[in-house]
């Protein structure tokens, strides 16, 4: 078992030596991920893990990848995608160009999901999807657009549950145990590293999607990120969060109205 003081030591090391700031991450999750990493990489004790992190810069990539959570799927929570399709995309379609920011996109499954929705609404060619994550490994995978064949059955079911009417397999070509998604989808995506903790706003968007990222932050950091999103959204633009996340207890809440039952808000002032 790793005690809380050790977590603080490691958080300070990673910030001072490498500039990754986990200071305001939720402690329960950090503790669990760091304990798990100790077990996965067979460190006999916390001290050995800390030594490796401090003295082996090449290990940092692994540390960041394992401490942050990169579990995602296509059309995760199909009713959410149904709401985007029915309630949000028709509004976005009224703009000459559509700018979307997918913050914390991980390995990109949800970015491709959204691109498919945009394509089916005939909006893809005038959209740009900026997809960011702090994890460079995850971004590489997202950029490649290759996902495991073994997940396609589930993704196809999600797609149908989200109101999809095409043949899902028409969006990818299969190759052994991986599938590569249509280049036409990836053409409208821009992937780049962005850290919600330390980086600032980089554009004004019509839709920001950030799902199951804020649950790993404490309240203080959540509020800072909400401010960042608020500064990056134009009037009548949309903010979409994970199914258990809410802006209700934040200071930006009064300027937003929830759209339907899903975790989607529209900026009103």
Partner 1 sequence: MEEVEIVNTLSLLVIGGSAGSLAVLLDVLPLVQLPPSKAIVIVVHRKNTPDSLLSELLASRSGLPVKEIGDKEPLRGGEVYLAPPDYHVLFETDQTLSLDVSEKINYSRPSIDVAFTSAADVYRERLSCLLLSGANADGVDGLRYVRSLGGMIAVQRPETAEAPYMPQQAVHHLPGIREISPIDMPAFINSL
- The residue whose two tokens read 């999809």 is 164
* Out of 113, 127, 135, 212, the residue judged to bind partner 1 by CB under 8 A: 212
5 is a contact residue toward partner 1 (CB under 8 A): no
Least distance to partner 1 from the beta carbon of 174, Å? Answer: 25
User: What is the full DSSP assignment across 99-168?
Assistant: EEEEET-TTSHHHHHHHHHHHHTT-GGGEEEEEEES-HHHHHHHHHTEEEGGGHHHHHHHHHHTT--S-G
Least distance to partner 1 from the beta carbon of 122, Å? Answer: 27
Choice between 168 and 217, CB closer to partner 1: 217
Main-chain phi, psi angles of 131, to 5 degrees: -115, 120
79 is a contact residue toward partner 1 (CB under 8 A): yes
Choice between 3 and 16, CB closer to partner 1: 3
Choice between 72 and 127, CB closer to partner 1: 72
Choice between 97 and 261, CB closer to partner 1: 261
151 is a contact residue toward partner 1 (CB under 8 A): no
Q: Could you give the CA distance from residue 125 to residue 120 in angstroms, rounded to a whole number?
A: 11
Least distance to partner 1 from the beta carbon of 26, Å? Answer: 5
Least distance to partner 1 from the beta carbon of 241, Å? Answer: 9
CA-based nearest residue to 53, from 3, 8, 9, 10: 10
Least distance to partner 1 from the beta carbon of 259, Å? Answer: 16
253 is a contact residue toward partner 1 (CB under 8 A): no
CB count within 10 Å of CB 86 equals 11
Question: Do 146 and 78 meet the contact criterion of CB atoms below 8 Å apart?
Answer: no
Q: Could you give the CA distance from residue 237 to residue 256 in angstroms, rounded to a whole number?
A: 10
Q: Which residues contact 166 (CB under 8 A, 6 or more apart)?
A: 120
71 is a contact residue toward partner 1 (CB under 8 A): yes
For partner 1, which stretch binds (CB under 8 A), given 30-38, 137-145, 147-155, 169-177? Answer: 30-38
């Amino acid at each position: 078992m790793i005690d809380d003081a050790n977590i603080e030591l490691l958080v300070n090391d990673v910030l001072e030596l490498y500039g990754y700031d986990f200071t305001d991450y939720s402690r329960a999750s950090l503790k669990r991920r760091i304990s798990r990493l100790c077990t996965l990489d067979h460190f006999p004790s916390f001290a050995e893990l800390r030594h490796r992190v401090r003295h082996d810069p090449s290990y940092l990539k692994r540390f960041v990848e394992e401490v942050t959570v990169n579990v995602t799927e296509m059309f995760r929570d199909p009713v959410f995608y149904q709401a985007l399709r029915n309630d949000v995309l028709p509004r976005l379609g009224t703009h000459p160009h559509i700018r979307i920011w997918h913050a914390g996109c991980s390995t990109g499954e949800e970015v491709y999901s959204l691109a498919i929705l945009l394509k089916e609404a005939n909006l893809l060619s005038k959209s740009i999807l900026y997809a960011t994550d702090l994890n460079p490994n995850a971004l590489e995978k997202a950029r490649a657009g290759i996902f495991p064949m073994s997940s396609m059955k589930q993704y196809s079911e999600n797609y149908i549950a989200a109101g999809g009417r095409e043949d899902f397999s028409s969006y990818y070509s299969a190759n052994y145990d991986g599938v590569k998604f249509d280049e036409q989808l990836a053409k409208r995506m821009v992937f780049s590293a962005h850290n919600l903790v330390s980086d600032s706003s980089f554009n004004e968007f019509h839709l920001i999607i950030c799902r199951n990222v804020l649950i790993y932050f404490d309240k203080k950091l959540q509020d800072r990120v909400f401010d960042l999103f608020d500064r990056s959204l134009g009037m009548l633009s949309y903010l979409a969060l994970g199914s258990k996340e809410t802006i209700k207890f934040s200071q930006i809440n009064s300027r937003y109205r929830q759209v339907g039952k899903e975790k989607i808000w529209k900026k009103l002032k």
